Structure 1
Amino acid sequence: MVCFRLSLMPGSGLVSLCLVLGAVSAYALELNLMNSEKATCLYAKWQMNFTIRYETTNNKYKTVTISGLGNATYNGSTCGDDQNGPKIEVQFGSGFSWTVNFTKEVSTYSIENISFSYDTHDNTTFPDAKEKGVFTVHYPVAFRIPLDDIFRCNAILTLQENMVVQHYWDVHVQAYVQNGTVSTKEFLCDKDKTTTMVPIVPTSLPSPTTTPTPKEKPEIGSYSVNNSNGTCLLATMGLQLNMTHDKVASVVNINPNTTDFTGSCHSQTALLRLNSSNIKYLDFVFAVKNENRFYLKEVNVSMYLDNGSVFSTANNNLSYWDAPLGSSYMCNKEQTVSVSGAFQINTFGLRVQPFSVIEGKYSTAQECSLDDDTILIPIIVGAGLSGLIIVIVIAYLIGRRKSYAGYQTL
């Protein structure tokens, strides 16, 4: 027996269904598989979307984001048996399918691999695709979880294979439910862990590092993300990446003319991803806080260095570029985003709006404190008055000393 429940986004209530999903697009998928004894054997709840880059008939490339999963079905999902492990299969849209397979060991189970298929014969989604056919990408995961735990990851997980980028968030899954009861013990993904790194104070002088050659300011580029409603994210910025790898420091200016960009937009999060020949991905993840402001919450980067090695780092606990929803954030002067001790981003001519974009244009900007020159006026005036007062006091004291020197005691 296969039953599942679809949860609307927060505040919208619940819709319970079996075997058929309602035709609503803004759902978090929730699957509850039951065995022949009507006991839960697999439980999963998650959200996902897919960004596909394809070649058009005029030899250019387009990007489309698939996020409407309201018409999904679960045909082929199974709890598994002695020969085959559990499997979740989801079908949605026109020719889209998604499969995840699980395997079991003595005390752990694994999310073994994920497959995603799309059909470019769908003229609504791919109206000008150069190649028509069914394409499938496979992503090996092999992620191990204790057998009695439920895996949880609220942060955005990104998988990229060929020209498909997959995003997952609010993930809860237990593939081998024990005794029909979903576990309350959670196994967290790395991005959800909040372990604080305590800085280590060296007792001896550190080894010298190679100082990078200073570079000119990077060229300012314009980036955007579209969904079914049009442009949903805007970003304009010059980016300079500063990294230290194996005690060697380097600086890379991003060239917007040779940089591709994709992303996705949701009610509480938004993603801008940049990639080029030497940047596998550079993710800017924005989030909503207190229901009325947005900020840069997360940066993930993986790039190829000149020596052939790969530099990767991530931080999902940032707090930059804070501004009210319905406005944009702007900082014309150079600003530094410190992602880790080994990676910082310098921005130039920055302006971003990841939510509430209207007609593809920026809304009124909230300027950063570096751009706010009004505070300099009272500082300058105050400093000038203080200096003038000091000069007057000194002149007064000198005058009194001279006047006293003109009289002799009788």
Structure 2
Amino acid sequence: MSHAHHLLKLLLLLLAVLAGSQPHGAVAAKFEVKDVTNKTCTIVELLMNFSIKYETVEEKEKLIFFPIPEDAVVSGNSTCGKGSSESSLLVVTFGTGHSVSFSFSRNSSVYYAEKLGVAYNLGDKHIFPDARRNDVSFSSESTGINAQVNTTYVCMTAQEIQMANATVVISAARIEAYVPGSDYSKEETVCEADKTTSTTTVPTTVTPTQPPTPKDPVSIKYNVTSSNGTCLLAQMGLQLNLTYITKYNKTGVEIINIDSNATASGFCESTSVGLSLKSERTSLWLFFSMDTAAQRGSVLHKVRQVVTLRGALNVTNTSLNYLQATLGKSFKCSSKQILQVSPVFALDVFKAQVQAFTVQNGKFGEAEECLLDQNNMLIPIIVGAALAGLVLIVLIAYLIGRKRSHAGYQTI
């Protein structure tokens, strides 16, 4: 790898940190339900992110993402139930009229989180500034969360629970209902997803090997279209470059290619378009915005990534400024680009051509070459000019030397 490439990657990393990207060590929120004697009956600790689809005042569908905030609290509606066989309920409230709830039940050997419910207030202008309606919507769905009685349910892997107009992503979860003591039970029930992604234990004297680096990703064409036509056209290969800490307290790197099996979807709005790519392990969102004042389109301003990686990694950065092109033109870059999203996640883009908002007849507009390609073209020109200059200097030196040698034989 060249020194210029190392320098570019370091510069992008510094810019990502200064831009305020989400920190690596996100802290799981912890909630407890207690009975009238102040004894704990339910403990839920997890990372939780929401994506809500709603209708705007312009009668268009919009998708918004947000995490459960740090100031979320357990509601007084939460209950332990009157007996060990009766259903218990955890209700957590936050913001202006938003809540999330878990309802639990049990039998003699197993307890279940039967339903996850989400209530969101479209009248909250902080989260839904352009919502057409102002009512509170509620969705619920089964969770698949269950564990042996008197054990703690543990699941580091991200779990996506889809509802009517809401999707909840749960990760880094430690949950126990019908707690026998005052805290989590020592015995654990580990979810199946964690079992399938766990690695074999090796002696501590052996240094763990890094996963093999895959080949460059295949360039894939993406098209996001609404009733008004195509709003995003892209041809590119995408590669996720992820950094994590191993159980040996060493830095590990995993590289994942986005292939043609990923499910692609998206949305079109007047000043924002989105591309979603989902696969078995990853969920990647790319958001493009329009700067009408500067007449710039195809500006990648936000990336959200959820990936199952020996647990779960959830990264969002809303302060990006990549893949820029003038409105009506396309951004093109044959060189590999490293888009640093956070200190632990970079999106590597290969052979890219992207155009947003003003796509005519489903075809790319005039291409604007990226700086990397311009530099790559400039280097051969500089080298060629330097060689030509060197040849010219040698030729001049030769002619001067020849002239001087002839001067010694002139007739007196």
TM-score normalised by the chain length of structure 1? 0.49
Question: Could you say which structure has the higher helix fraction?
Answer: 2
- Higher RCO (CA < 8 A, seq sep 6+): 2
